[in-house]
Structures are given as structure tokens and as C-alpha cells.
């Protein structure tokens, strides 16, 4: 086990021991943040008084997915009764949803356990940061902390972390050796088959949603530069899933755009070769757009999220990535032609 995890587990233990601790998931929670917060509350349950929760009510699909956890989440309305707040799978106070203002006034200690790249607004002040931006999921980190602690990897705990890894790595599209070895360990401990875990972690959509996603893909905007392709689709609700699908189909840059009254949300995905050959990195491209238009962004080099104010044109995002793709391809091949489909 890496020296980092050994010393970080010791730091965590001394920060949490004997305290009233809240493990908090980020707003619009995904399975990685939920599973990680749940398992942290389980593995530190002997050493501290642990609560885990979300900052907003879960929707039905996630309520279903966490129903097998042995400790259920609370919807947290106030932070005032906790000594320590552990931000699980997020590193910006802006991601605390309705708790943002409470969080800014929080007088206890703050710990961050996360795997995201630096974002537009970071926590300031004294914060214990256990952040590994190169890792595919927070669940992967939590599994390492648990192993350092000699935690009991009971079946629901192992299954939860395995599902967090599956969804955050987009079924191992982004992964390293540790992702596979950790997943293998958890899969065995979960007592379930790989297919069962995939079915639970990434359940099929309702038929109406599946049809809507296909309609969205049919109306994709496509731009090729030489042999590289950018694909953008306007996909309400399932914009991240649609962007993943575009990458699977061969796009090098995929934009899943969801315009709504609350904002213009965009999931950005970059293909393997888009990152390794063209050196496209969403976390380097998005902050300038976010700053210029009053939005926020965060994520990873190959999978990131941009949130802009509502009613802005999606062309802002499309044009930026088209320009960036052209610039990088033309560095290697000056004659690369641009085609719009």
C-alpha cells in the first residue's frame, strides 16, 4: 500500500477521533460521493460519532441505489452540531448546494477527501486536504483508507464502493492500476457478480428517457478536423450519459449540453487520444469560459462539468472547443481540413 495512504489515514484518524463528524456528499449527488460518504461513516464508526448525509433530498433513482446501504443518509439542514465536516468528493464550497452559506460560517474543522482537479472556487483557510486528482474515483481512495484501518469490508460496503468506482470511471474508461486492483478486491468482497454490480450502479433508463437520449444523439452537431471529431448534443437530463455515448461512438471531444431555467449545464468528455495525442485537457479549457461568463466548472482532464448562467448560447462552448481542436490538430497537420456535418 502506498505511503501516502498510510500517513493520510493517520492524519484522518487524529482529525476525527472522539469528534462529532459529518461526512457530506456534494450537491446533485452521484454514486461516488454517496458511496464514499456512507463507507467513511461506517469505517470510522468505532473512533468517532459519525453521521453521513446529503445537502438535498435524493431523487427516486438514487434512493433506490442507496437502499442496500446499512447506514442511511440524512438530509442535512444545519452544520451547527458537528465538530468536523468532511467534504466527500468535492473541493469547492460552491458544491454544497443549499448549505453553501452555512458552510462559509462553519467554525469547526474541515477535511476534504477528493479526486478532482483544482476548481474555480476553492476552500480557503486551514483545511486538511486529502486530494488525489489523478485517481479515477473517491471510492477508490476510501477503499485504501479502509484497508489501512483494517476495516471490515462487509458486503454492502464493498458493493457500494465498487459501484462508485464503476460509475465515476465510466466503466473503466478512465482508470489506473489501482482502480483495477481495488475493484477486484471489492468485487470479491461484495459477493455479487460484475453484471449485478453494473446493473445496480448504472440501471437502465426509463424508456421515455432512453428514447429522448436517442433523439438527442440523432441531432448531434459534428465538426471534424483532419481525422479528429467533435460531437455536441443537446440532451436534457442525461447530458453526461449522452456525452459518454458520443465518446464510445468515436468522438474525440463530446459535449452533452442541457439548457434549463436554472442554468446551461454542459458535460465535457475527451477521448483517450484527444488527451494523450492532442493534449486536450478540459480542466485547462473550462476555467476561462466559466470566468468570462460568470459560471463554475470542475472535474478531470477527460471528464468535466461546466455550469453557465441560463439563457447563454451553447455556441460559446461549441466555438471554444472547435477552436481548441483546430489549433491542436493543425499544430501536427497544417493541411487538416475542417468539415461541418
Q: How far is the CB of 89 from Mn ion (least distance, A)?
A: 4
- Cβ-closest position to Mn ion: 32
Closest CA to 296 of 281, 305, 307, 288: 307
Q: How far is the CB of 25 from Mn ion (least distance, A)?
A: 10
CB 284 within 8 A of CB 298: no
**CA-based torsion, 125, 131, 137, 139: positive or negative:** negative
Site for Mn ion in 180-239 (CB under 5 A): none
- 107: helix, strand or coil: coil
* Angle, vertex CA 152, rays to CA 149 and CA 153, nearest 5: 110
Region for 60 from its dihedrals, namely left if φ exceeds 0, alpha if ψ lies in -120 to 50, beta otherwise: alpha
Site for Mn ion in 5-34 (CB under 5 A): 32
Closest CA to 92 of 81, 84, 103: 103
Site for Mn ion in 34-63 (CB under 5 A): none
Site for Mn ion in 122-151 (CB under 5 A): 138
Closer residue to Mn ion in complex, CB, 111/318: 111
Q: How far is the CB of 214 from Mn ion (least distance, A)?
A: 27
Closer residue to Mn ion in complex, CB, 95/233: 95
CB 83 within 8 A of CB 108: yes
Rule CB under 5 A: say whether 168 interacts with Mn ion. yes
Rule CB under 5 A: say whether 114 interacts with Mn ion. no
**Which residue shows C-alpha cell 454490480?**
197
Closer residue to Mn ion in complex, CB, 89/324: 89
Site for Mn ion in 62-101 (CB under 5 A): 89
- 265: helix, strand or coil: strand
Closer residue to Mn ion in complex, CB, 213/303: 303
Give me the residues that bind Mn ion (CB under 5 A), please: 32, 89, 138, 168
Amino acid at each position: 500500500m502506498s505511503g501516502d495512504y498510510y500517513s493520510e489515514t493517520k492524519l484522518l484518524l487524529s482529525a476525527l477521533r472522539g469528534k462529532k463528524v459529518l461526512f457530506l456528499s456534494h450537491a446533485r449527488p452521484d454514486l461516488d460521493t454517496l458511496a464514499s460518504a456512507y463507507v467513511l461513516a461506517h469505517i470510522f464508526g468505532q473512533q468517532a460519532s459519525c453521521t453521513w448525509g446529503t445537502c438535498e433530498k435524493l431523487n427516486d433513482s438514487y434512493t433506490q441505489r442507496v437502499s442496500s446501504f446499512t447506514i442511511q443518509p440524512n438530509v442535512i439542514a444545519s452544520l451547527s452540531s458537528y465538530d468536523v465536516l468532511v467534504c466527500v468528493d468535492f473541493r469547492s464550497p460552491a458544491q454544497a448546494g443549499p448549505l453553501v452559506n452555512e458552510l462559509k460560517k462553519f467554525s469547526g474543522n474541515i477535511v476534504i477527501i477528493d479526486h478532482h482537479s483544482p476548481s474555480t472556487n476553492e476552500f480557503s483557510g486551514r483545511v486538511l486536504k486529502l486530494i488525489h486528482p489523478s485517481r479515477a474515483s473517491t471510492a477508490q481512495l476510501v477503499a485504501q483508507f479502509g484497508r489501512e484501518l483494517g476495516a471490515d469490508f462487509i458486503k454492502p460496503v464493498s458493493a457500494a464502493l465498487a459501484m462508485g468506482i464503476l460509475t465515476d470511471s465510466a466503466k473503466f474508461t478512465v482508470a489506473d492500476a489501482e482502480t483495477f486492483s481495488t475493484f477486484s478486491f471489492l468485487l470479491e468482497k461484495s459477493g455479487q457478480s460484475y453484471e449485478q454490480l453494473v446493473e445496480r450502479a448504472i440501471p437502465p433508463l426509463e424508456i421515455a428517457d432512453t428514447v429522448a437520449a436517442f433523439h438527442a444523439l440523432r441531432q448531434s452537431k459534428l465538426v471534424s478536423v483532419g481525422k479528429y471529431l467533435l460531437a455536441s448534443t443537446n440532451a436534457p437530463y442525461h447530458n453526461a450519459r449522452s456525452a459518454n455515448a458520443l465518446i464510445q461512438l468515436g468522438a474525440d471531444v463530446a459535449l452533452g449540453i442541457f439548457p434549463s431555467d436554472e442554468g446551461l449545464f454542459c458535460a465535457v468528455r475527451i477521448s483517450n487520444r484527444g488527451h494523450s495525442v492532442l493534449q486536450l485537457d478540459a480542466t485547462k479549457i473550462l476555467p476561462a469560459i466559466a470566468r468570462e461568463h460568470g459560471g463554475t466548472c470542475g472535474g478531470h482532464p477527460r471528464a468535466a462539468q461546466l455550469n453557465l448562467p441560463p439563457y447563454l448560447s451553447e455556441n460559446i462552448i461549441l466555438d471554444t472547443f472547435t477552436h481548441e481542436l483546430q489549433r491542436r490538430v493543425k499544430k501536427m497537420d497544417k493541411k487538416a481540413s475542417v468539415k461541418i456535418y
